[in-house]
Amino acid sequence: MRRGNLLVAVLIIAMGLLGFAQFAGAQSWPTKPIKFIVPYPPGGGTDVIARIMQEPMGQALGQQIIIDNRGGAGGSIGTDIAAKSPADGYTVLFTLSSHTINPAIYPKLAFDTEKDFLPVSIVASLPQILVANPDFPAKTVKEVIDMAKAKPDSISYASVGNGSPGHLAGAMMAGSASVSMTHIPYRGGGPAVTDVMAGQVPLLWVSIPAAANYVKAGKLRALAVSTVKRSPIFPDVPTMAELGFKDYEVDSWYAMFVPAKTPQTIIDTLYKATVKVLAEPAVKEKLLGQGAEAVGSTPAQLGATVKNEIVKWKKVAKDAGIKAE
Q: Can you give the pLDDT at residue 17? A: 44
Domains and CATH numbers, the chain: 9-123+253-320 (3.40.190.150), 127-225 (3.40.190.10)
3-state secondary structure of 6: helix
CB atoms within 10 A of CB 181: 22
Average pLDDT, the chain: 90
Q: How far apart are CA 191 and CA 195, in angstroms?
A: 6
**Mean pLDDT of the region 66-86:** 93
CA angle, residues 213, 215, 219, in degrees to nearest 5 = 100
Higher pLDDT, 160 or 15: 160
Q: Give the β-pairing of 221-225 and 182-185.
A: unpaired
Rg (alpha carbons) of the chain, rounded to whole number = 22
Q: How far apart are CA 156 and CA 136, in angstroms?
A: 12
Higher pLDDT, 75 or 301: 301
Q: How many residues does the chain have?
A: 325
At 242, the pLDDT band (50, 70, 90 cuts) reads very high
Its pTM stands at 0.82
User: Quick check: 282 pLDDT over 60?
Assistant: yes
Pick the most confident of 76-80, 119-123, 157-161: 119-123
**What would the pLDDT profile of 184-234 be if each residue is shown by its tens digit?**
988 777 889 999 999 999 999 998 888 888 999 999 999 999 999 999 889
Q: Can you give the pLDDT at residue 72? A: 83
For residue 92, what are the β-bridge partners? 36
Q: Which residues of 4-25 are buried (b: 16+ CB within 10 A; e: fewer)?
A: eeeeeeeeeeeeeeeeeeeeeb
How far from each other are the two terminal CA atoms of the chain, in whole angstroms? 63
User: Quick check: 91 pLDDT over 80?
Assistant: yes
Q: Which residues of 295-310 are buried (b: 16+ CB within 10 A; e: fewer)?
A: bbbebeebbebbeebb
**Mean pLDDT of the region 95-99:** 93
At 320, the pLDDT band (50, 70, 90 cuts) reads confident
For residue 224, what are the β-bridge partners? 130
Q: Can you give the pLDDT at residue 45? A: 81
> Amino acid identity, residue 321?
G
At 26, the pLDDT band (50, 70, 90 cuts) reads low
Q: Can you give the pLDDT at residue 55? A: 98
User: Quick check: 124 pLDDT over 90?
Assistant: yes
Closest-CA residue to 317 (of 103, 43, 158): 103
Q: Can you give the pLDDT at residue 103? A: 94
Q: Are 278 and 72 in contact (CB under 8 A)?
A: no
At 5, the pLDDT band (50, 70, 90 cuts) reads low
